[in-house]
Chains A and B, each alone.
Chain A
Amino acid sequence: MTATLTPATVPAAAPAAPTTRTKTKRDIPTVVVIVLVSVALLLLIGLPLGKILVTAVSAEGLEVAQAMFTSPVNRKIVVNTVILGTLVGAIGTAIGFAMAYAQARMKFRGKKLLHLIALLPIVSPPFAVATAVITLFGRSGLITNKVFGLETNIYGLTGLTIVLALSFFPVAYMNLLGMLRSLDPALDEAASGMGANKWQIFRTVTLPMLVPGFGGAFLLLFVEAIADLANPLVIGGDFTVLSSRAYIAITGEYDVASGSAYSVFLLVPALLVFLVQRYWSSRRSIVSVTGKPSGRVREIEGWARVPLMVVVFGIAALIVTIYATVIIGGFVQILGVNNTFTLDNYRYVVQGIGSDAMIDTTVLALLATPIAAILGMLVAWLVVRKLKRGRGLMDFAGMLGLAVPGTVVGIGYALAFNRPLVVGNVQLLPAFAGGAAVFGGAVAIVMVYVIRSMPSAQRSGVAALQQIDPAIDEASASLGATGVTTFRRVTLPLIRPALLSGLTYAFARSMTTLSPIIFITTPQTKIMTSQILSEVDSGRFGNAFAYCTILIVIVMTVIGLLNLAARGRTPVPVAASGA
């Protein structure tokens, strides 16, 4: 059985890898994988970033960069951006942890429902939240004004923080939930056996184990927050951030040099946070899946639950209200102004250019998802298990797609792929992006989807692999399996839950991403999120709500099918604690 070796995990590459039975670590299939992954990363992220850096250090770009330090207005924008990122990172991680802890360690009714509610923001475009929040809590908001008679000002930092934290906390939730579930309950039992109470266990056992998770979640949220440009445009008020400024420079003026210069300033804090987090989490070992049997989690009951339950259900109620607003808003004339039932919004969306956008977006996201998940898992595997030298570099390169703000990725793609790639006199690649590109620019969009969603697959892969004792791999190798065989037969089954969550997330993310896409949409390839932005920006909230609802339904359907398919293929749960 083991003799036939087809790397089914590398569909994009799939050269018939030679069957070898070497016992060295660096066997040929592994080297092939390393080379292919490196080339893919170079093309997907190296080239666009390189182009941006080159443009930013051009004479014009340097002028703008210099103005960043001299002009107080620009300095304020940089400070604003960092404040926003920090707030959203901290608050979003806190919300995510509260939800995850309740889910994993507390006993209460409605857990499944709460889980679904917590994932809702992932399957929707972020400005669904912004638009609903304006309708609910704006100056003439349904709740603030119509119920409480308040004249609140939601525009600016407050509104942005609420909207972004609510939009992005599910990332933190998913990561932390996965980690909490894979913590070995035997540790808790040991602590409690030594006389520790629940609070002491939480503080001295659970929290330290989660440190990498907190760091990772904060990083993701920080970068998501500073990269987001739809929400600052919709609800930012006079709180200007770098991403919206870069966007105006490019879409309004076609000032690529300033756009790139702003991007580089966006890049710096993002990379800094990323490096800090890596250094910090790498100092702790968190091996906890050892293949040894373990106990069961004892869930918290009684009054100790109350404070957290209040918080968790409060947040859940807010999310439900927001999405109810989105759904209802699609079926009435103008929510809050004229609440007559109508199907006009749906008619407008479905009969207009909306239907093209739905098909294009879904097809491209479906193409990108498996590529992203597999690439991410491969990178994770190489980084954790295979590479000695250059592992840091590979991990870093893989994470760049996420660490680099979406706005920067988008501008980089526009710069790198709007023209054919020519080296010397040889055209290596045709133009991928822009109106004149091959396939109407669809290739660049798939590439962006891949590079943006791959890191989350990589992260979950790395987290899962780090928790698996290398002894398991070594056992496989000592039985004569090659690296790739070990990956396929041993590692992959163990990290399958992580792979599935990576896949799910990759798809949802592709469907709902906007910041990088908006710079490379073409007339031929219409993407739903950019259509929704134009509806929201023109103030046609009803159409936007209808679009968002349709988008949510598509994402939910595909995720449902994905889960069903995965369940069908996994008759036996692999890891006792993981499934």
Chain B
Amino acid sequence: MNIRKAVALASVMGFAMTLTACAADSQSGSQSEDGPITIACGAMEDWCQKMTEEFTKTSGIEANFVRLSSGETVARLEASKDSPEFDVWHGGPVDGFGAAKNADLIEAYKSPNAEAIPAEYRDPDGYWTGVYVGVLGFCSNQSSLDKLGVDVPSSWDDLLAPELKKQVSSAHPSTSGTAFTTLWTQVERLGGEEEAFGYMSQLHNSILQYSKSGTAPGQIAGRGEVAVGLVFSHDCVKYQEEGMTDLVVSFPEEGTGYEIGGVALIKGSKHQAAAQKYIDWTLTAEAQSFGPTVGSYQVLTNPDATSDDRMVKLDDVNLVDYDFVEAAAAKKGMTTRFDEEIASAPKE
């Protein structure tokens, strides 16, 4: 009986102590001007980790990250806008940043370092700045394609081949910025939203399942679960390097979309000074050059940053004329429509 009492008491005390410990933690955090800052990170997890680590090393400011897909980030910012849980949003297509700007979730910040970045990679109002550029491509598994007797796809229409039924993987545009880039690319390529949805509902028959995260389709193709994954080509290159040697990258000849990966200050950040320091740092050549060291071969926006043969040559690929402002404005309506009309529709 006594032992039982002691255990009960101990558990109560344990509870109380842990709570006090946590309380102490969160207090010292929220009152400091220099962080720790929390970053909503939209790129590859190891990229996020490298960036925060190196930033802490150079600045002494503690930085944490949560890896979130672009749609998720906007949802989370919306949910906590009265008292934001993040300070900076780093990485992921700027279509999402534009949506956040329209929803008043991010704040304009013109970093002194932004001057170095070409104007086409910056928001004219200074809400976001581009840190990298990625091109949407087909990430195919050569041996799966061979088994199916299909050539490496070189056109959007190739994906509609009956042999590729349930052999293509794409992310869900509601959560993934990559998948929204795919969706908006169809709008630019075919000339309108109706046409884009027409294509996507045809493509739906080829899709195995819609993943949450935009980088997943490359992995799924790499393991041979599907023949083709729709991802940014740099993600495909990363997986090749990590041992998925069957993967090949190709681009649709009628034109493909691209992303500008952005960085932005969250509105109402509690550590604004530190957050701005972080943004300044991400625009330097030095910071951007850490990308390739962890296998992320996006084209970097700072002209002085490292260049690598494994990065895509923007001049060699036929790019659609991607209107980021229009895309951002249309994002919410289109993803909802996609979710309702396409994602859960039965397949023929």
A residues adjacent to B (C-beta < 8 A): 6, 8-9, 11-12, 14, 71, 73-74, 76-77, 134-135, 138-140, 145, 153, 155, 233, 236-238, 240, 245, 248-255, 333-334, 336-338, 340, 348, 352-353, 363, 366-367, 370-371, 414, 418-419, 431, 434-436, 438-440, 442-443, 522-524, 534, 537-541, 569
Contact = CB atoms under 8 A, between A and B. Distances in A.
A252 B86 contact: no
A138 B209 contact: no
B243 A539 contact: no
Contacts of B223: 135, 138, 140, 334, 336-337, 539, 541
Contacts of A524: 26, 38
A9 B222 CA distance: 54
Contacts of A255: 336
B75 A253 contact: yes
A134 B172 CA distance: 20
B8 A333 contact: no
A155 B347 CA distance: 14
B31 interface: no
Contact of B144 (A140, A238, A431): A140
B236 to A, nearest CB: 12
A418 B75 CA distance: 14
14 contacts: A14-B12, A139-B226, A140-B223, A140-B225, A233-B212, A238-B347, A251-B174, A337-B246, A352-B49, A353-B64, A434-B80, A435-B86, A522-B85, A538-B215
A155 B220 CA distance: 12
B211 interface: yes
Contacts of A251: 71-72, 75, 174-175, 212
Nearest to B209: A237
Contact of A238 (B23, B25, B209): B209
A434 B347 contact: no
Interface string B168-181: 00001011000000
Contacts of B191: none
A252 B80 contact: no
A539 B220 contact: yes
B224 interface: yes
Contact of A439 (B26, B175, B218, B225): B26
A541 B225 CA distance: 13
A561 to B, nearest CB: 13
Interface-central residue, A77, A337, A539, by most chain B CB under 10 Å: A539
B275 to A, nearest CB: 14
Contacts of A337: 222-224, 243-244, 246
B301 interface: no
Interface string B317-347: 0000000000000001001100110011111
Contact of B243 (A74, A153, A240, A333): A333
Nearest to B39: A523
Nearest to B224: A140
A353 B7 CA distance: 32
A252 B339 CA distance: 10
Contact of A253 (B45, B211, B245, B332): B332
Contacts of B166: 153, 155, 237-238
Contact of A236 (B83, B86, B209, B336): B209
B61 interface: no
A348 B46 contact: yes
Nearest to B215: A538
Given A251-B174, A363-B18, A439-B22, 16 more contacts: A12-B12, A73-B346, A240-B344, A248-B174, A248-B212, A254-B74, A254-B75, A337-B224, A367-B11, A436-B84, A439-B23, A440-B25, A523-B38, A538-B216, A539-B216, A569-B3
Contacts of B222: 334, 337, 539
A245 B343 CA distance: 10
Interface string B11-33: 11011001100110110000000
Contact of B340 (A8, A73, A534, A569): A73
B242 interface: yes
B26 A438 contact: yes
Nearest to A336: B223
Contact of B64 (A6, A11, A334, A523): A523
Contacts of A431: 83
Contact of B1 (A8, A71, A336, A371): A8
Nearest to B346: A76
Contacts of A414: 79
Contacts of A363: 18
Contact of A539 (B1, B72, B219): B219
B144 to A, nearest CB: 7
Contacts of A439: 19, 22-23, 26
Interface of B: 1, 3-5, 7-9, 11-12, 14-15, 18-19, 22-23, 25-26, 38, 45-46, 49, 64-67, 71-72, 74-76, 78-80, 82-86, 144, 166, 172, 174-175, 207-209, 211-213, 215-216, 218-220, 222-226, 242-246, 332, 335-336, 339-340, 343-347
Contacts of A254: 74-76, 78-79
B11 A370 contact: yes
B20 to A, nearest CB: 10
A327 to B, nearest CB: 19
B74 to A, nearest CB: 7
Contacts of A73: 340, 344-346
Contacts of A418: 79-80
Contact of A534 (B14, B67, B84): B67
Contacts of A334: 222-223, 242-244
A370 B11 CA distance: 8
* List of 3 A-B pairs having minimum Cβ-Cβ separation, nearest first: A435-B85, A539-B219, A252-B174
Contacts of B84: 435-436
Interface-central residue, A9, A71, A240, A443, by most chain B CB under 10 Å: A240
A237 B211 CA distance: 9
A11 B12 contact: yes
Contacts of B85: 434-436, 522-523
A523 B66 contact: yes
Nearest to B270: A436
A541 B344 CA distance: 26
Nearest to A254: B75
B209 A435 contact: no
Contacts of B212: 233, 248, 251, 537
B243 A338 contact: yes
A432 B48 CA distance: 28
Contacts of B347: 238
Contacts of B72: 251-252
A253 B1 contact: no
Contact of B4 (A8, A14, A238): A8
Nearest to B19: A439
Contacts of A155: 166, 208-209
Interface-central residue, A252, A348, A352, A419, by most chain B CB under 10 Å: A252
A11 B208 contact: no
A342 to B, nearest CB: 10
Given A251-B75, A254-B75, A434-B85, A134 B211 contact: no
Contacts of A367: 11, 14-15, 18
A245 B344 contact: yes
A315 to B, nearest CB: 25
B99 to A, nearest CB: 11
A6 B5 contact: yes
Contacts of A139: 144, 224-226
Given A333-B243, A338-B243, A438-B23, A138 B225 contact: yes
Contacts of A153: 166
A506 to B, nearest CB: 13
A534 B213 contact: yes
B71 A252 contact: yes
B343 A539 contact: no
